[in-house]
Amino acid sequence: MTVILSLNLYDPYATINHVNSLAFNRSTSSAGETEALLYIQNELSKEDIKSYVEHFSYIGARKVLMRLTYLIIFSYLIIFRQFLIIVLYVCIKYLSERLRILSLVKEEDSKSIFTIIHAEKIKPHRPLIIISAHYDSFTANLPYRVQNVLFFVFRIILFPYFIATIGFGVWFLIDFSNNQPNSQLVVNLVLTSTISEFIIIILILLLIYNRSDSMGSIDNASGVSIILELAKLIKRNPLENFDALFIWPGAEEWGLIGSDRFLKRHGHELEQIYDLNNSYCINIDMVGSYIGLFNEKGFFHKKKLNTRLNDDLEKSAYKLGVPIVKYNSFTTPKSDHRSFIKFAKKTKTSLEVAYFHSSKDSKHIHSPRDTPEKCSPENLNGCLDICYDTIRTIDSSKRFLKKVG
């Protein structure tokens, strides 16, 4: 195997070795997810980097299906005025704790791991660099693009369905007459929407969700391996002015839950301690057959993700002679960088966010084809070098002293 000379002189094979070591099922709430987290924790401890694990629960697909089933049943009972059955169900369900547990599906459990490497100069309200890469994997029985279509349709129908169901439920509770001309039309709309929603979620569970096959190498053992080595490099050579926060969120594949929960728990603390107006975030999600850097979104691609940070990354790539592909998309791809963009808007700060994503490799992900051979060692090391060089350049430039938030 030929590997380009990397700034990681300690072990230029380290990134691809991590990808090979993580080539197993890491679906959320599985034993593999825990094994992957322990691997990350162990690799950090080798460099005497103290890490922290945070547990969280979330509503998984089975619980969504169960709640949707209850909602459909209750909608039908309300429509046909079977109120006594609802009352009887509630009474029986809450007779004992055992019945409550049996009647509902438990929430899914996941966890995130993070560490922080402090700057040499510990100053109040100093800037921060956040580097993230999710470590969970996901396997589906349908191609990635078909999955996206089904999820898109599901979301489009789901929101108006819930609104309509609540509205119709209230309407039926107030109006006890089914003899009005519009009553049957409303009944038909409720019945049709509930059946449609139920069919779609069954399709998602049966045709998409699969817990066992994908090794998740491109998505996202690649990102995990890169920021593992990046953390080690910065630990050996700490930044002068910036703290470096490394996050490996869990449950990214189920809606960016790990990164969202992390920011909900620590967002206020980050806002109080750090100068977020002069801070940066790099999210790495997929480095496979090339190094992709997301650039613009929207109609005619006129809305940039950011300006300065992407330019810095591109300059470092040019200086190091590492090929990089900037690309545009109609919508912002779904990854943890969206959580940090939302966090910047919430805090009304100018936190800049960059996103590495080899989008053309999506044809391999969420399937048994997402294997370590799909990850180029040259690209893994190249992305590592670009990030490390950019971070050190920003840290030494002192431009953050002049940047206006």
The tens-digit pLDDT sequence of the chain (405 residues) is 444 455 555 688 999 999 999 999 998 888 999 999 999 999 999 999 999 999 998 877 666 667 777 777 776 776 666 777 777 777 777 776 666 655 566 778 899 999 999 999 888 889 999 999 999 998 877 677 776 776 676 667 666 666 666 666 556 555 555 445 455 666 666 666 667 666 766 766 666 565 567 799 999 999 999 999 999 999 999 999 999 999 999 999 888 999 999 999 999 999 999 999 999 999 999 999 999 999 876 555 455 556 789 999 999 999 999 999 998 877 778 899 999 999 999 999 999 999 999 999 988 998 888 999 999 999 999 999 999 999 999 998 866 554 444
CB 399 within 8 A of CB 373: no
- CATH of residue 22's domain is 3.40.630.10
Q: Are residues 100 and 114 in the same domain?
A: no
Instruction: Calculate the alpha carbon distances from 278 to 114, 175, 323, 341 in Å.
Output: 21, 58, 28, 14
Residues 282 and 395 in one domain: yes
CA 163/CA 154 separation, integer angstroms? 14
SS3 state at 373: helix
Is residue 6, in this structure, part of any structural domain at all? no
**Cα–Cα separations (whole angstroms), residue 159 to 115, 194, 198, 261:** 37, 12, 14, 22
Q: Within 13 Å of residue 129, how many CA atoms lie on the same side as its CB?
A: 27
208, 237, 252 — which closes off a domain? 208
Q: Tell me the whole-structure pTM to 2 decimals.
A: 0.81
Residue 154: inside a domain, yes or no? yes
Do 158 and 269 belong together in one domain?
no
- Rounded to the nearest 5 degrees, what angle is found at the Cα of 167, between the Cα atoms of 166 and 171? 115
Residue ending a domain, choose from 192, 208, 224: 208
Please report whether residue 2 resides in a domain. Answer: no
User: Cα-flanking dihedrals φ and ψ of residue 136, to 5°?
Assistant: -80, 160
Q: CB within 8 A of 131, min separation 6: which ones?
A: 227, 230, 231, 244, 245, 246, 247, 281, 282, 283, 284, 387
Angle at Cα 266 formed by Cα 32 and Cα 118, nearest 5°? 90
Residue 62 near residue 104, CB atoms below 8 Å? no
Looking at the structure, do residues 365 and 233 belong to the same domain, yes or no? yes
Q: Into how many domains does the chain fold?
A: 2
Same domain, 332 and 377: yes
pLDDT value of position 194:
66
Q: Nearest-CA neighbor of 305 among 271, 282, 277, 322?
A: 282
Is 5 within the bounds of a domain?
no
Rounded to whole angstroms, the maximal C-alpha distance in the chain is 80
Same domain (yes/no): 172, 87: yes
Domain-embedded: residue 246: yes
> Which helix (H) or strand (E) segment is 391 a member of?
helix 377-397
Nearest by Cα to 220 from 375, 41, 1: 375
Q: Say yes or no: 101 and 113 in one domain.
A: no
Instruction: Tell whether 101 and 120 lie within a shared domain.
Output: no
Claim to verify: residue 268 and residue 354 sit in the same structural domain: yes
DSSP 106: P
Is residue 284 assigned to a domain? yes
Do 3 and 377 meet the contact criterion of CB atoms below 8 Å apart?
A: yes
Residue 31 CA to residue 36 CA, distance in Å, equals: 9
* Same domain? 51 vs 168: no
**Residue-wise burial string across 294-309, b where 16 or more C-beta atoms lie within 10 A, e elsewhere:** bbbbeeeeeeebbeeb
The two structure tokens encoding residue 222: 């690649």
Domain that holds residue 272: 14-57+109-139+214-401
pLDDT for the residue 9: 55
* Contact between 317 and 386 (Cβ < 8 Å): yes
| Helices assigned H by DSSP within 125-214 | 144-174, 183-203
Residue 7, in any domain of the structure: no
Q: Identify whether 47 is part of a domain.
A: yes
Same domain for 220 and 203?
A: no
Does 174 lie in the same domain as 159?
Answer: yes
